[in-house]
């Protein structure tokens, strides 16, 4: 048993190191806490007692007690509370952790203690946190997979969300963005009678014009509703100046952007003074955007795609979501996950051939720039290492605006049809990472080129040999039900390697109604039949649907993402219910559900439930005879 305990201690130590948390084993370096432990014997004798690990993160005491055996995780008393009798405290991880946590809360000046009971090993384990305050009140919290939520960067957010049940600053910002989007949408509709496509163009154009304020070539005060040089003309001229200033070339690209922004000067209603507003709608929009969003983009180092957020909200308020064009915008937590899965380096070249509002490119730029202190390299990242293609002109305009607002990247964005581009020519760009969220539900037997898996093949063929390619597509794409899709899957494996597929939360694209997954490939290297792929069930990702906000991050999301990355990169093993590692065939359904076989040993509770179901079935058969089976089938058919 001692050897097993040591292995568990070492595994916990590795988890702490990974989370950048430094605790002391068998004691504490902080004198006050160490003195308190001198009377912390589990036997209650008042002698010394040391947990496995103890220390402080910010103003929280962290104390950890671990056991090698899962069955020694937690013992409850007759009232279903954590038992605090001596035997339970000695024998069980959670009970021991609670004991030490209570002792430290009562015998030190610290008011916040997080006690962790840990049992098992890297593959099968439980980590249960308990919060304890200075009065000795304790609160059992949701189990975690890692300690990432408890380092200096994340512990305050965890405390606010999970203990105090309050919103964090990030959530308030999200709620404010959505509130701003709703107000702006209503104002665009009420004062401008603008179409769905025109609304984001108005927003994008004004954002570019606002950049000219710092060069004294534009001011909000100059928008006076003049009928000779209209407010729209002034904003349009400022946009034109800024496109020149940002060195948007060639002239044809700049002219294409300006043709999209001409709606600002050519729409009469938004250039006339509105009686209710006492100003033109354009001035009203400009003032609102300056206060609500422009400063956020200009002065915050964020991977948030603000214009994409606004566009998505405009679509939903307009009674559509772009699905007629297959447009499904990617949430920020997914674009950031792509960067983690790709292990982006400052030297990478990133290509998104269906870039939409440029969410992936913004996240990649943010990640790569953050990874280097070399200003020359940062300029290179923005200018030379981000490539995008977008088919829809107004989306291309939003994407270009987004990249200009972030510093650059615009010179490598193109308004083209990706599927019509020569992959060999695209390959010459030397892109080492491909990221894509292709148009959804556009393919058919008559037009198989528009299947999402076809877009995936075209992306893979466009990258350098050994490049990492990551796509988010509907699960139906990797099951390959049609003959055409099966052929494409087979062709992909002849030239490229599938690394694995991650099944996502069904609400990832909230309000869209598609079940997505992430597929990861290595381009240009044929798939070896003995190559082991990873299939992960990441439906429980720590994001939940919140009323009026949509998909919202909970405190467990960082922990769950860290666990996913640990498993993906082979840093830890995992149960097969989370990850199956296996060889594949082209005609397999490339999803965790296809390969998963439940290899867990049934618990006594499972046996009891099975017996209860069996006895219920027997009773119904005896009572109703075979008519019961017919009733059951009818019920199932109705449910379907």
Q: What percentage of the chain has pLDDT greater than the value 70?
A: 88
Q: What is the pLDDT of residue 174?
A: 67
Q: What is the pLDDT of residue 291?
A: 86
For 616, counting Cβ atoms within 10 Å of its Cβ (0-12 exposed, 13-18 middle, 19+ buried), the class is: exposed
What mean pLDDT do residues 274-296 have?
A: 90
Measure Cα distances from 538 to 228, 404, 452 in Å: 59, 34, 21
pTM attached to this predicted model:
0.81
Q: Which structure tokens are listed for 459?
A: 């992306």
Phi/psi for 576 (5° steps) reads -65, -20
Q: Looking at the DSSP assignment, which residues form a beta bridge with residue 67?
A: 119
What mean pLDDT do residues 555-582 have?
A: 94
Q: Other C-beta atoms within 10 Å of 633: how many?
A: 10
Q: What is the pLDDT of residue 407?
A: 75
Given pLDDT bands bounded at 50, 70 and 90, which one contains residue 634? Answer: very low
Dump the DSSP string for 615-637: HHHHHHHHHHTTHHHHHHHHHHH
**Each residue's pLDDT tens digit, 177-211:** 778 888 888 899 899 988 888 888 999 999 999 99
Q: Which structure tokens are listed for 197?
A: 């496509």
Determine the Cα–Cα distance for residues 397 and 276; give it in Å rounded to an integer: 31
> E strand or H helix at 176, and its extent?
helix 169-192
**Each residue's pLDDT tens digit, 405-451:** 887 656 799 999 999 999 999 999 999 999 999 998 787 888 888 99
The per-residue pLDDT of the chain, averaged, comes to 88
pLDDT at 306 over 90: no
**Each residue's pLDDT tens digit, 102-153:** 999 999 999 999 999 999 988 889 999 999 998 999 999 999 999 999 999 9
Phi/psi for 143 (5° steps) reads -55, 150
Q: What is the pLDDT of residue 619?
A: 62
**Each residue's pLDDT tens digit, 140-155:** 999 999 999 999 999 9
Q: Which of helix, strand or coil describes residue 391?
A: coil
Q: What is the pLDDT of residue 426?
A: 97
pLDDT at 340 over 90: yes
Given pLDDT bands bounded at 50, 70 and 90, which one contains residue 258? Answer: very high
Q: Where do we find the tokens 């990832």?
A: 508
Q: Show me where the domains of the chain are located.
A: 2-163, 169-300, 605-639
Determine the Cα–Cα distance for residues 521 and 33; give it in Å rounded to an integer: 50
Q: What is the pLDDT of residue 609?
A: 63
What mean pLDDT do residues 346-359 have?
A: 95
Strands 112-120 and 125-133: antiparallel
Mean pLDDT check: name the lowest of 79-93, 298-312, 401-415, 536-550.
298-312
Strands 60-67 and 53-57: antiparallel
């Amino acid at each position: 048993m001692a050897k097993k305990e040591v292995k568990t201690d070492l595994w916990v130590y590795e988890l702490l190191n990974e989370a950048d948390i430094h605790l002391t084993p068998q004691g504490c370096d902080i004198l006050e806490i160490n003195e308190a432990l001198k009377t912390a014997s589990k036997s209650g004798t008042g002698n010394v007692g040391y947990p496995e690990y103890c220390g402080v993160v910010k103003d929280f005491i962290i104390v950890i007690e671990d056991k090698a055996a899962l069955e020694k995780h937690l013992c409850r008393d007759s009232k279903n509370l954590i038992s605090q009798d001596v035997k339970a405290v000695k024998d069980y991880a959670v009970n021991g952790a609670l004991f030490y946590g209570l002792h430290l809360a009562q015998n030190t000046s610290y008011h916040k203690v997080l006690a962790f009971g840990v049992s098992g090993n890297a593959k099968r384990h439980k980590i249960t946190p308990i919060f304890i305050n200075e009065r000795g009140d304790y609160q059992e919290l949701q189990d975690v997979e890692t300690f990432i939520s408890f380092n200096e960067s994340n512990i305050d957010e965890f405390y606010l969300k999970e203990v105090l049940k309050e919103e964090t600053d990030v959530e308030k910002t999200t709620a404010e963005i959505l509130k701003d989007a709703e107000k702006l949408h209503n104002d665009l509709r009420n004062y401008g009678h603008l179409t769905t496509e025109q609304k984001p163009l108005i927003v994008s154009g004004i954002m570019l014009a606002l950049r000219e304020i710092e060069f004294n070539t534009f001011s909000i005060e100059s928008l006076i509703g003049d009928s000779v040089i209209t407010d729209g003309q002034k904003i349009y001229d400022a946009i034109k100046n800024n496109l020149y200033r940002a060195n948007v070339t060639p002239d044809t690209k700049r002219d294409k952007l300006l043709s999209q922004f001409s709606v600002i000067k050519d729409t009469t209603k938004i250039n006339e003074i509105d009686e209710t507003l006492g100003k033109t709608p354009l001035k009203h929009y400009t003032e609102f955007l300056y206060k609500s969003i422009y400063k956020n983009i200009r002065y915050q180092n964020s991977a948030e795609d603000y214009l994409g957020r606004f566009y998505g909200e405009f679509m939903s308020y307009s009674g559509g979501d772009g699905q007629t064009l297959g447009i499904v915008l990617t949430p920020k937590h997914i674009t950031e996950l792509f960067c983690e899965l790709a292990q982006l380096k400052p030297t990478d070249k990133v290509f998104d051939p269906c870039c939409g509002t440029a969410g992936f490119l913004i996240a990649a730029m943010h990640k790569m720039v953050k990874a280097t202190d070399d200003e020359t390299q940062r300029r290179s990242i923005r200018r030379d290492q981000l490539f995008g293609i977008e088919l829809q002109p107004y989306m291309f305009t939003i994407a270009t605006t987004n990249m200009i607002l972030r510093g650059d990247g615009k010179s490598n964005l193109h308004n083209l049809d990706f599927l019509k581009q020569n992959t060999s020519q695209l390959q010459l760009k030397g892109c080492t990472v491909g990221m894509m969220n292709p148009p959804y539900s556009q393919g058919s037997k008559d037009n198989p080129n528009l299947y999402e898996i076809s877009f995936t093949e075209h992306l893979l063929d466009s990258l350098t040999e050994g490049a990492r390619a990551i796509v988010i597509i509907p699960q139906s794409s990797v099951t390959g039900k049609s003959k055409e899709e099966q052929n494409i899957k087979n062709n992909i494996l002849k030239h490229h390697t599938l690394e694995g597929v991650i099944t996502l939360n069904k609400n990832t694209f909230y309000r869209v109604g598609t079940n997505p997954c992430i597929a990861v490939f290595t381009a240009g290297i044929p798939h070896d039949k003995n190559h082991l792929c990873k299939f992960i069930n990441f439906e429980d990702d720590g994001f939940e649907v919140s009323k009026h906000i949509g998909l919202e991050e909970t405190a467990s999301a960082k922990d769950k993402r860290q666990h996913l990355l640990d498993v993906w990169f082979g840093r830890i093993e995992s149960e097969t219910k989370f990850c199956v590692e296996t060889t594949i065939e082209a005609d397999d359904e490339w999803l965790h559900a296809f390969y998963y076989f439940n290899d867990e040993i049934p618990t006594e509770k499972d046996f009891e439930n099975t017996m209860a179901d069996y006895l219920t079935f027997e009773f119904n058969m005896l009572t109703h005879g075979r008519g019961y089976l017919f009733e059951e089938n009818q019920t199932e058919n109705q449910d379907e």
